[in-house]
Amino acid sequence: MSLKKAIKLAPARAVDADPIEVEAPLDVTRLLTTITDNLVGMLYRCRVDAIWTMEYVSEGCHKLTGYRPAELVFNTRVSYDQITLPEDRANVSRTIHAALESNTSFEVEYRIRRADGRSCWVLERGVGIRSEDGRLAWIEGYIQDISDRMAANEMLREAVRRYSSIFEHATEGIFQTTPEGRYLNANPALARIYGHVSADALIDHLQDISRQLYVQPERRTAFVRLMQEHGVVRNFESQVYRVDGSVIWISENARAVRNADGSVQFFEGTVID
């Protein structure tokens, strides 16, 4: 084949060959915009001034605060300091400035007042940014709504308060013991039933329940066996020693609390005289 003919055929053969896939260059700007606009929360850059003047906030600003980004940037409608609840401002400022002075990142929880008048809890994480000449110029960070978490924490605290009140003021004795026979917790009523001056005194004194408490040690053995087999005992009656050596009858109702692997962690229940 002549060189002239080969040159003429080459383009045709190139067209007939399988096309080579070439990946489109990554549009980093578009990618970052997509990420920031869809974050559940607000990215920001603000000045280190008295009112935290925002120079940039992401689109999450509107869902978080009720204000459009343009309304917060450069304090066009309101400054970020203004929407921070007055009673929280001092702690926010103190936390942020302490981190800036030590060149560390910060994390602070506080409340803001949304555009619709509702308040919500937020968590802010940020860090100081320096200009080319080394001057502290901005803070950059992220703010997210944690109202649901704070509400759940408050519900938990309230539940603990209610439980503590029941535990402390119940007329029945309440206890937690190890399977081996030591008290982990006891309430004041149980201490009174056994003749101790306090729950702490009871826990310190009774180091071996089967030997020190039960008149017939095998009753504790039977108690543990029922717990292992059924996970619960009801109306379990036994004679026990009070701290002064006198003997009383008690009735126990209890259950076994197990670990994730099924092993018994402790027993908990109630005692009546």
- Span 184-219, pLDDT tens digits: 999 999 999 999 999 999 999 999 999 999 999 999
User: In the prediction, which pLDDT does 36 show?
Assistant: 64
Mean pLDDT of 131-148: 93
- Span 47-90, pLDDT tens digits: 999 999 999 999 999 999 999 999 999 999 999 999 999 999 99
User: In the prediction, which pLDDT does 24 show?
Assistant: 54
Domains of the chain: 33-150 (3.30.450.20), 169-272 (3.30.450.20)
- Would you list the DSSP string of the chain? --HHHHHHHHHHHHHHSPPPP-PPPP-HHHHHHHHHHTSSSEEEEEESSTT--EEEE-THHHHHHSS-HHHHBTTSS--HHHHB-HHHHHHHHHHHHHHHHTT--EEEEEEEE-TTS-EEEEEEEEEEEE-TTS-EEEEEEEEEE-HHHHHHHHHHHHHHHHHHHHHHH-SSEEEEE-TTS-EEEE-HHHHHHHT-SSHHHHHHH-S-HHHHTBSSTHHHHHHHHHHHHHSEEEEEEEEEE-TTS-EEEEEEEEEEEE-TTS-EEEEEEEEE-
User: In the prediction, which pLDDT does 40 show?
Assistant: 72
Mean pLDDT of 109-127: 96
Reported pTM: 0.61
User: In the prediction, which pLDDT does 163 show?
Assistant: 85
The residue among 34 and 130 whose pLDDT is bigger is 130
User: In the prediction, which pLDDT does 18 show?
Assistant: 52
User: In the prediction, which pLDDT does 25 show?
Assistant: 61
